[in-house]
Structure 1
Amino acid sequence: MVDTHQTFVIVGGGLAGAKAAETLRAEGFTGRVILIGDERDHPYERPPLSKGFLLGKADRDSVFVHEPAWYAQAEIELRLGQPAVQLDRAARTVTLGDGSRIHYDRLLLATGAEPRRLDIPGTDLVGVHHLRRLAHAERLRGVLTSLGRDNGQLVIAGGGWIGLEVAAAARGYGAEVTIIEPSPTPLHGVLGPELGSVFADLHRDHGVRFHFGARLTEIVGQDGMVLAARTDDGEEHPAHDVLAAIGAAPRTALAEAAGLETVDRAHGGGIAVDASLRTSDPDVFAAGDVAAAANPLLDTRLRVEHWANALNSGPAAARAMLDQPVSYDRVPYFFSDQYDLGMEYSGYAPPGAYDQVVCRGDLGRREFIAFWLSEGRLLAGMNVNVWDVTEPIQKLIRSGAPLDPEALANPSVPLESLLPE
């Protein structure tokens, strides 16, 4: 039986919000838990949208965090299909799109992110897509099936993780794919030129065409349908469909209107939270893609748009809401699957932060581990088709110990042996 003396409200129906609700109950919270989501679907995980589900290898039900019946069993009240449109911190209320107001004692903002839009002519044409929501993935899966059947052309704006994963899926269906990317390699801002070329070669080997150093300037149509995509260097690429995969923006409008501290977009954006995921209002917390958290391990404020962060920060925020001691200092982690390549990345090594990249293994066979170092200390590691090394990589990052690059590069030296005593 729920005790109505306290009400915890979660705004955001994604993985972070669902895991926060689960944790509140697991930690013994007996008050009301209300989860608000602007989609009608129950909370789901996003990686399958560009991986298994998009490829047709996983069914729709596999993406959901919990079975629908779980929420009633856990006495979680759902407000699905209702956006939160106003936060009144003085009154401690959240107003929904239908005008109803919900009181909270503690509030978690897990509003996630939304795809950045192409600001060019032609984006209103039929055949221009984004990939962020389940409905997007369902539509795109049908599009890729049709393109593959008809030998159709897909142009992708952006050579990041989403762009590359959709390219791999599209080639799996048999569609022709061109990726337009302003940087000199895919994933340039994440992996740098040293490793971005590995992914360029992977996709070229599977028939993907790249157009680097260019941006889309116009999507040309005929009879309301996409016909071609033009770039700022005067090129025109035939296209039946265009995917905008140019990144995501944190959904901070609710927090900003309520006067919560946020981070400038130039520094990653998001809602500013401390190491306990508490915002500038002591009764309001943030988790998942929208949270720019002060990470004690990395000694920087960081917003992470990946599955593992949603999975772990939701429960951490829930514990902090219950006044448990929380210091969210996890090593950032993400993974990707493209064709026969699987990879995991741990750490944080933005451009300019590292002075050396060391590899062990065979880059040509795409079986290797890459290490990003600064003054001999490990900032990040990426294992490609090499498994069961994430734990030692993360321990080496946490240790902050100076490492011998030759030992790192030597496959016969166990990573565990490099950890300080």
Structure 2
Amino acid sequence: MNERTGRAQFGARLASLRHHARLSQRALALQLCATAGITTLTRHEISRWERGARIPDAWLTSLAQVLGVPLDSLERDAARARGECGAPPDADREPDAYVRDAVGWLLAHDNRHGGDHVAEAAVQVWEAERARITGGDKQHLAQVAEIGEVAGWLLYDAARFPEARAALAQAHTLARLAGDGPLEWFILDLLAMVDVHTGCAGEARAITDEMLTGREVPGRVTLMARVRQARSLAQAGERARALDSLERATGALQDSMQADDPAFTWWIDTTEVELHTGEALLSLGDPRAALPHLQRSSEASQGGGARREFGNVLAELTALARLGAWREAEAPLLRLEPILRTVTSSRTRVRLRSTLRTIDRDAPAWLAETAREVAPLVPGPRVHRAPRSHRSSRLR
């Protein structure tokens, strides 16, 4: 293996580990800066590493800590990338290397294209690794729990909600047996997420209460729990309490990064809090108040992964449709069309079908025609145009 190939493989390994940790390049740079006590590393340098343009020798210790991998493993990979040693025999390879790489790439695919086509692959990896559990090896239990968490997330994105919840519940048990507190918190957050999405507000509240009353829960884990709590309160119609929880979550975003914040908490940023604030207000029947939040989250989601952008743009479009703001609705509707050609997230497409039906039923003819052009890109029941005499022609 020549050095160029070795560098490319090492870069791909780092990218896989980063995706597995649910970190953007910017978030990884921030975590590394916090760990090393400096402020000069940027996402552009992370990109150079992942493209194989540079080998981050001075950062290997911090990378191992942030990404949760053995330092000697990264050092061996870096040495091979420099051409200093040959590829190891299979017997010397980390027993979980294939699994970690596979899971990282499944998550990368989901970020770009949605979870529909990779959920089953994740389930296969999850079931195979569960079958390998033979005792109380806590490190192995934690690894298998993490794979279950990934499988649960991808099943959720594929709108396979009962299977998603079952996988997450089993993964939570394994994380608890492993004594992995941060992983327990992450899985609890995902369980609350599934409950919010499926309208099980009481179950979501019980989970978030457990997270908010736990001992030594890091700040950003608390922030995540407050967001889920607010969504469940909004679904229950408790406006004042929901908005109070969101206000506290927004305030917590201003806090600096803490050393004890788990890596997975970096998905919760200003864009996400704006999105969930808007979604909570939609649940409370107030699309006018929701719209500014959803417009900001929609705009900020560009470049953050096509699957994420899909959900944020659709939330904006849903608020506009509920307001009957048809002229403003055209831009997000057109923005969705190219995304739909590459992203297959069934949970988001279900909502899109409902919003398209609203547009077809109530919007003026010119916008309804656009909705009908988009509809064939959404698998499922087709949007049928109602007779003109039964449709509203109002413009707002």
Tell me which of the two structures has the higher relative contact order, counting C-alpha pairs closer than 8 angstroms and 6 or more residues apart.
Answer: 1
Could you state the TM-score of these two structures normalised by the residue count of structure 2? 0.29
Q: Larger % of helix: which?
A: 2
Q: Larger % of strand: which?
A: 1
